[in-house]
Amino acid sequence: MSELQIYLIVIGAAIIVLLLGFNWFQDRRVRRRMQAQMPVIEQDPLLGDALAPGEIRREPGLGGATATGVSVGGDALSLSAEHPEAAADEQGPDPSTEVVIEITFQGPMLGEDLALLLQPLRSAGRKAVRIFAQDTEGQLDARLRADGQYVSVHLAVLLANRSGALSAIEWSQIWNRAQALADQLEASIEGPDQQFVLDAASCLDDTCAALDTQVGLTLLLGSMRPVSEVTSAAQSMGFVPYNGGLVWLGDYGLVCFTLSRADAESLDAGMASVDRLSLLLDVPCSPVDTRAFGKMAEVGFELARRVGGELVDDQLRPLQQGADVAIDDKLKTLYAQLEKAGFAAGSPRARRVFA
């Protein structure tokens, strides 16, 4: 081997070492930038819990609800993994109710590094933002894996809910947060034009406003009664505590109707006594039932009997036995309208928009 060949080999090896060192330095610089000013959280809610081999994930239930019942996610009730529509709902953004902001990284990122950075992106004002991470194989994950390798994130911004259409301020808020993250990671960002977003939001809001229906009944107690006495009677019938009120659960843990204080105070806060309660059937968010109102009325009559109260309609007139038939007939028409518009009652899509 000649002296020139030896020099060339040495130079080549030195170049390789320099390239490896430069890549290491770049990786270290990006990681330090990502972790700067980030809070220390031992376990992040965006990361899926570690499961033992062969273990099946079970979502936490409400009160005595089983594993097929509702689970708590933030302030909303979410379908259990066993609901027939739950899996499809987590496959990706819903183009009929959401717009997407996509942030593409320069290279794969670990889920454990990404989770903390996504915390500020989970809402846009009063609109929910669902986050989907795309892995190196092109699959979208609604639940990050700590050891997963992700190349981009898709922010699915809800266009409308009961607070109204997505506003220019709300859109600017989530866009600016996404842009700040993209700048921090030296990533690229893509999203629709603001006017397109606002027009789509307004259209969705108009459609849903025409379909939004809630039906209520009032339980008059006759005098101030201890809250604990009333809630104990309700829970003995099957009501489940949730978010300061009580809910009646149906199939897959979906809420059929709710029981709350008529003054909108929490049942476990404020005054220790109450003189009236409200039963509410949220039609778009409850499961389809040909006797949805009738069943709520039956439960209301039984609760009234147990606590010595009186069940009345929204005009405070005593509710007569059999008065539910006409209302249930009207609800059948509304269920059909919701289905035709793409918002099947009780479906994940309906429960996002009518929230």
From first to last of the 355 residues of the chain, give the pLDDT tens digit.
677 667 667 777 777 766 666 555 554 443 444 333 333 333 333 344 333 333 333 332 233 332 223 333 333 333 344 455 655 667 899 999 999 999 999 999 999 999 999 999 999 999 999 999 999 999 999 999 999 999 999 999 999 999 999 999 999 999 999 999 999 999 999 999 999 999 999 999 999 999 999 999 999 999 999 998 999 999 999 999 988 899 999 877 889 999 999 988 888 765 689 999 999 999 999 999 999 999 999 999 999 999 999 999 988 999 887 889 999 999 999 999 999 999 999 999 999 999 9
Examine the domain organization and report whether 146 and 255 are in the same domain. Answer: no
Examine the domain organization and report whether 298 and 332 are in the same domain. Answer: yes
Residue type, 77: L
Examine the domain organization and report whether 281 and 174 are in the same domain. Answer: no
Distance CA 26, CA 305 (A): 72
| Residue 61 maps to a domain | no
Distance CA 346, CA 338 (A): 10
| Residue 52 maps to a domain | no
pTM of the full structure: 0.73
Query: For residue 264, what pLDDT is reported?
Result: 85
User: Of the candidates 207, 240, 268, which is a domain's last residue?
Assistant: 207
User: Of the candidates 207, 232, 256, which is a domain's last residue?
Assistant: 207
Residue type, 231: T
Examine the domain organization and report whether 222 and 165 are in the same domain. Answer: no
| Residue 51 maps to a domain | no
Examine the domain organization and report whether 184 and 225 are in the same domain. Answer: no
Segments forming the whole domain that contains residue 30: 1-36
Query: For residue 21, what pLDDT is reported?
Result: 63
Q: Residue 351 burial (CB < 10 Å; 0-12/13-18/19+)?
A: buried
Query: For residue 70, what pLDDT is reported?
Result: 37
Examine the domain organization and report whether 218 and 198 are in the same domain. Answer: no
Number of domains in the chain: 3
Examine the domain organization and report whether 142 and 223 are in the same domain. Answer: no
Examine the domain organization and report whether 244 and 290 are in the same domain. Answer: yes
Q: What is the CATH number of the domain that holds 154?
A: 3.30.1400.10
| Residue 76 maps to a domain | no
Examine the domain organization and report whether 197 and 257 are in the same domain. Answer: no
| Residue 64 maps to a domain | no
Examine the domain organization and report whether 198 and 241 are in the same domain. Answer: no
Query: For residue 91, what pLDDT is reported?
Result: 80
| Residue 45 maps to a domain | no
Q: What is the edge-to-edge ordering of all strands in the sheet holding 214-226?
A: 240-242, 245-249, 255-261, 273-282, 214-226, 310-312
Q: Residue 206 burial (CB < 10 Å; 0-12/13-18/19+)?
A: exposed
The closest of 123, 176, 178, 127 to 152, measured between CA atoms, is 178
Examine the domain organization and report whether 196 and 122 are in the same domain. Answer: yes
Examine the domain organization and report whether 224 and 145 are in the same domain. Answer: no
Query: For residue 162, what pLDDT is reported?
Result: 97
Query: For residue 80, what pLDDT is reported?
Result: 42
Distance CA 182, CA 165 (A): 26
| Residue 79 maps to a domain | no
